[in-house]
Amino acid sequence: MAFFEEIASAVIAGDPAKSQELVRKALDGGAKPLDIVDQGLMAGMNVVGERFKRCDMFVPEVLMAAKAMNMGLDLVKPHLDSASRAGTGTVVIGTVKGDLHDIGKNLVAMLLESKGLNVVNLGVDVSAETFVNAVKQHSPQIVGMSALLTTTMLVMKDVIDALKEANLRDSVKVMIGGAPVTQDFATEIGADGYAPDAVTATDLAKGLLG
Partner 1 sequence: MRGARVRRETMRSNYRVNATTQFKVLSCDQLSEIQSATMEVLERTGVNIFDKEALELFRKAGAKVDRNRVRIPSHLVEWALKSAPSRVVLCDRNGSRRLFLEGHNSYFGPGPTNNFTIDVFTGERRKVRKEDNRRTGILVDALPNIDFAMDLGTPSDVTATLADIHAFEALLSNTTKPITAWGFDVSGYQTIIDMCVAVAGSLEDLRQNPFVCLYSEPSSPLQHSEEAISKLLFMAGQGLPAVYTPCVMAGGTAPATMAGTLVIANSECMVGVVASQLKREGAPVIVGGVVTIMDMGSTVFSYGAPELSLLQAGLTELAHYNGLPVFGTAGCTDSKGLDQQAAIEGALSIMMAAESGANLIHDVGYSEYGSTGSQLQMVMANDIIGYVKRVIRGIRVDQNALAVNVIEAVGPGGHFLAEPHTLAHFRTETTNLDLVDRRRYDDWKARGELSMGDRVRERARQILETHKPKPLEKEARSKIDQIIQDAENRVGK
Size of the site for partner 1 (CB under 8 A): 19
Using CB under 8 A as the binding rule, the residues of this chain from 102 to 131 that contact partner 1 are 102-103, 106-107, 110
C-alpha dihedral, 134 to 77 to 48 to 141, nearest 10°: 30
The residue among 48, 136, 155, 66 whose CA lies nearest residue 108 is 66
Residue 95 bridge partners (DSSP) = 146
In the chain, the amino acid numbered 108 is V
Q: Considering only 1-9, 35-43, 54-62, 73-81, which stretch makes contact with partner 1 by CB under 8 A?
A: 54-62
CB of 59 to partner 1, least distance (A): 6
Among 137, 150, 182, 187, binds partner 1 (CB under 8 A): 182
Report yes or no: 164 and 194 within 8 Å, Cβ to Cβ. Answer: no
- Which residue, 106 or 141, has its beta carbon nearer to partner 1? 106
Report yes or no: 208 and 174 within 8 Å, Cβ to Cβ. Answer: no
Among 17, 86, 100, 138, binds partner 1 (CB under 8 A): 100
Residue 197 as a binder of partner 1 (CB under 8 A): the answer is yes
Q: Of all helices (H) and strands (E), which one includes residue 1?
A: none
Residue 92 bridge partners (DSSP) = 120, 143
Point out which residues bind partner 1 (CB under 8 A): 14, 55, 58-61, 63-64, 67, 100, 102-103, 106-107, 110, 182-183, 196-197
